[in-house]
Structure 1
Amino acid sequence: MTQPPPPPGYGYPPPPPANSDEKTWALVATFGAAVGAFVSCGVLGFVGPLVAFLAKGKESPAVRAHSLAALNFQAPLSAVAFLFVIVYQCAGNIIPGVGWLIGLLAGLISLAVFVVAILFGVLAGVKANEGQFYKYPFTLDLIK
C-alpha cells in the first residue's frame, strides 16, 4: 500500500522558480548576501536578500522563500558582525591593560562571521542557480 505524497504547506520547500526572472531574483537574494558580506566585513550581508524580498517577494512565492531564508540567516549575522566590529574598534579604550585581548577575540569572531556569511551565501546561490531551495544550517525567524 503506497502513501500519497504530502500536501504542500509549511515545512516543505517552495516551488522552483517558474521563469528566468524569478531565478535571477533568487540569485540576487542569495549571491547578493555573499557579496554584501564580502564588501562590508559581514555587516551588509542582509541587503541583497532585503532588496529581493521588497522588489519581488509579493509577486513570486519562490523569490519570497529564497529571500526570506537568506534574510533570516544573514540579518542576525550582520548584527553580530556590526557589534564585533564596534567592539574591535573600541577595544583599546574598554580596559587599558587587556584591550588587545578583547580586540583579538572580537577580530576573530568578526572573521568567523565574515567567512560563514560568505560561505553559506555562495552555497545557497549555487543551489538557487540549480533551481533548488537551500536550507540554511540555522536561521532566526525574524521575518515571516
Structure 2
Amino acid sequence: MSDMSTNPPDEQPTWSGDQGGPTPPPPPGAGAQPPAGGYAGPPQGGYPPQGGYPSPPGYAPPGGNPAYGGGGYSTQPALSDSDQRMWATLSHILPIIGLSFLVPLVVWLVFKGRGQYLEEHAKEALNFQITLVIAAIAISIISVITLGLGTILYLAFIPALVFMILAAVTANRGEMYRYPVNIRIIN
C-alpha cells in the first residue's frame, strides 16, 4: 500500500502567489464566450462583479427599482393634514347619501399607508357601515318573521345618522372619533 499524501520534493506544487510558485490552473471553460441569451456562469475568480450581478430580464425588485425612483413599498407621498381631514370627513358623511360601506372601503384602500389619521378614520367608518349592514339584514329578517311589526326597529338608524354626522364634524376638526356601537371587524 502506498502513501498518497507524500509527493516527491521536486513535484511539490505551491499555490500561493507570495511564494513565487506556479499559478493555479484556470477553471474549466475559462476564456470561453458565454452562450447568447443564456446563463454565463460566475465571472472569472468566482466573485461577483463590482456592483453585484445584473437582474435577469423582466425582473423587478420588490418596492420598485431604485434607479427609476422606486425603492420603497409606497411610492406615493404622504397626504397633508388638510387632505387627511377632508377624506376622513368624506368617509363618514358620504355613506349618508346611500353609498353605504363603499366610500370608507375605497378611501381606506386607496389611501392606505399615506396617513395614519385618515387610515384610522376610514377603518372606523368602514366598521360602522358594516355594522349597519348587519343590523339592516337582521331587522329585515325580524320584519319578515313578525309580519312587518319589526319594521319599527328601523328607527334605530336615526341615532346612527346622528353618529355619522358627529364623526364627520369631529374628523374635520382633526380629532379621533369612536362610534359608541360598532363591531370592529377591520383593525
Partner residue in 1 for 2:87:
25
State the superposition RMSD in angstroms: 2.1
User: Are positions 1:110 and 2:151 aligned together?
Assistant: no
User: Are positions 1:71 and 2:126 aligned together?
Assistant: yes
Distance 2:115 2:136 in 1: 30
Partner residue in 1 for 2:110:
55
Compute the TM-score of the two structures, normalised by the length of structure 2.
Answer: 0.51
Partner residue in 2 for 1:34:
96
For 2:113, the aligned partner's letter is: K
User: Are positions 1:140 and 2:179 aligned together?
Assistant: no
Which ranges of 4 or more aligned residues in structure 1 deviate by more than 4 Å? Answer: none
Q: Which runs of 5+ in 2 are unaligned?
A: 1-78
> How many residue pairs get matched?
109
Deviations 1:92-135 (A, max 9, x none): xx5xxx62xxx122x111231x2132111100001011111112
The Cα shift of 1:34 comes to 2.8
Distance 2:186 2:81 in 1: 25
For 2:184, the aligned partner's letter is: D
Distance 1:20 1:140 in 2: 28
**Residues 19 and 60 from structure 1, CA distance in 2 versus in 1: closer, same or farther, beyond 3 angstroms?**
same
Distance 1:126 1:52 in 2: 18
CA contact (8 A) 1:25 1:56 kept: no
CA contact (8 A) 2:88 2:122 kept: yes
CA contact (8 A) 2:163 2:179 kept: yes
Distance 1:69 1:46 in 2: 11
Distance 1:125 1:29 in 2: 8
Structure with higher helix content: 1
CA contact (8 A) 1:35 1:118 kept: no
Query: Any idea what SS the aligned residue of 2:89 has?
Result: helix
The structure with the largest alpha-carbon Rg is: 2
Query: Any idea what SS the aligned residue of 2:175 has?
Result: coil
Distance 1:122 1:50 in 2: 18
User: Are positions 1:122 and 2:184 aligned together?
Assistant: no
| Larger relative contact order, structure 1 or 2 (CA cutoff 8 Å, min sep 6) | 1
% identical aligned pairs? 35
Distance 2:105 2:159 in 1: 19
For 2:149, the aligned partner's letter is: L
Compute the TM-score of the two structures, normalised by the length of structure 1.
Answer: 0.65
